[in-house]
Structure 1
């Protein structure tokens, strides 16, 4: 790809192709053809290859752009993965949401980067909430943050597989999931699930190298 464009008009064409590719990949998945991307951008397939070299290189440019856009969106800070995507919709547009969903479904380096960002963000949020007395301490704060993200992302991806997004796109599916799981999630997070400690005590007694005790809140 030509990363430095001396001609502003050429730079504008490169940006238009990349933005069209983000839309097509988000709507059709990463199997979207160069021809369909070229049509969406209003250019020839040959011009797409001329500027980006290959479809894989175009995908890499889209990954970089979307990841940077997500990281530059302050509205997502401290939210669950479902709200992460919902907040992204409110802050930017559904095109980025669709691309993120496709990346999570496909796996790979971008999905790993998104998950790492989510886990780090949730950890910061929980640490802050604990300091404010809103969240209980954990024996392993990092593991707790990771569990919450993986549970939420897993639920999101299963929901999207069982309920493929319609014409409104994945943003509407994310909102629908959030409405469905908010009450049971808040019940579990607020009141707990188990009525006694037997399973936890057994785990701590027999597990190799058990975690330290929960620190004082």
Structure 2
């Protein structure tokens, strides 16, 4: 059985890795850098995690469980999406990097969220608070991609909105308000864009 100090050291190492991997990517950070940030020896990092890859997998698992909810195993409702966007900054930045770097756990979580969101939107279509979709799965995937975009495009969105901290409440309310308005009221006042898209689709089908 591990001592309390042992468990605390493990968590400290993991948290240091979350910060560093999220900022620079796992490929750009060595075990020694994580050990220094955690205030432990490289040997202790390897003792707890076996290798840098083992540490990265532990970080993946921690972030996934933080978003899903401890012990739940899967996302049970759309609160998981809110949890993802409201999580501590190191968790969000790690997830963004994991999605870009191709983490298997992050990929599985993305797929799970798309499936869940598809069911949620289908319920909405049946209940009348969401429009039906010609391609429900594609719509769910695009919707989730939009929700995750601030994680991946944080610096660009912050620059465009002229804010120092994209995760501050004022910035969050601003960009989420614009998004809710888009989803609720739409952007285009007529169907010319959709008509143009349909014309392109039909032309490609006849080739």
TM-score (norm 1): 0.69
Q: CA deviation at 1:121?
A: 2.9
Confirm whether residue 71 of structure 1 aligns to residue 73 of structure 2. no
Q: Could you tell me which residue of structure 2 aligns to residue 148 of structure 1?
A: 143
Q: Could you tell me which residue of structure 2 aligns to residue 202 of structure 1?
A: 199
| Aligned residue among 127, 130, 137 for 1:135 | 130
Q: CA deviation at 1:12?
A: 4.0
**In 1, Cα distance between equivalents of 2:2 and 2:133:** 55
Q: Could you tell me which residue of structure 2 aligns to residue 34 of structure 1?
A: 31
Confirm whether residue 44 of structure 1 aligns to residue 41 of structure 2. yes
Q: Could you tell me which residue of structure 2 aligns to residue 214 of structure 1?
A: none
**In 2, Cα distance between equivalents of 1:160 and 1:171:** 11
Deviates further, 176-185 or 56-65: 176-185
Indicate how the Cα distance of structure 1 residues 157 and 15 shifts in structure 2: closer, same or farther if over 3 A, else same: closer
Structure 2 unaligned spans of 5+? none
Indicate how the Cα distance of structure 1 residues 162 and 141 shifts in structure 2: closer, same or farther if over 3 A, else same: closer
Residue 167 of structure 2 aligns to a residue whose secondary structure is: helix
TM-score (norm 2): 0.72
**In 1, Cα distance between equivalents of 2:83 and 2:76:** 5
Count matched residues: 195
**In 1, Cα distance between equivalents of 2:151 and 2:52:** 28
Q: Which runs of 4+ in 1 moved over 6 A?
A: 73-76
Q: Could you tell me which residue of structure 2 aligns to residue 186 of structure 1?
A: 181
Q: CA deviation at 1:55?
A: 0.9
Q: Could you tell me which residue of structure 2 aligns to residue 96 of structure 1?
A: 91
**In 2, Cα distance between equivalents of 1:52 and 1:69:** 19
Q: What pairs with 1:99-138 in structure 2 (closer than 5 Å)? A: 99-138=94-133
**In 2, Cα distance between equivalents of 1:103 and 1:178:** 26
**In 2, Cα distance between equivalents of 1:85 and 1:175:** 18
Q: CA deviation at 1:21?
A: 1.9
1:16-41 CA-to-partner distances (Å, cap 9, x unmatched) read: 32233223323443223322321333
Deviates further, 196-205 or 117-126: 196-205
Root mean square deviation, CA, Å:
3.6
Indicate how the Cα distance of structure 1 residues 23 and 97 shifts in structure 2: closer, same or farther if over 3 A, else same: same
Bigger RCO of structures 1 and 2 (CA < 8 A, at least 6 apart) = 1
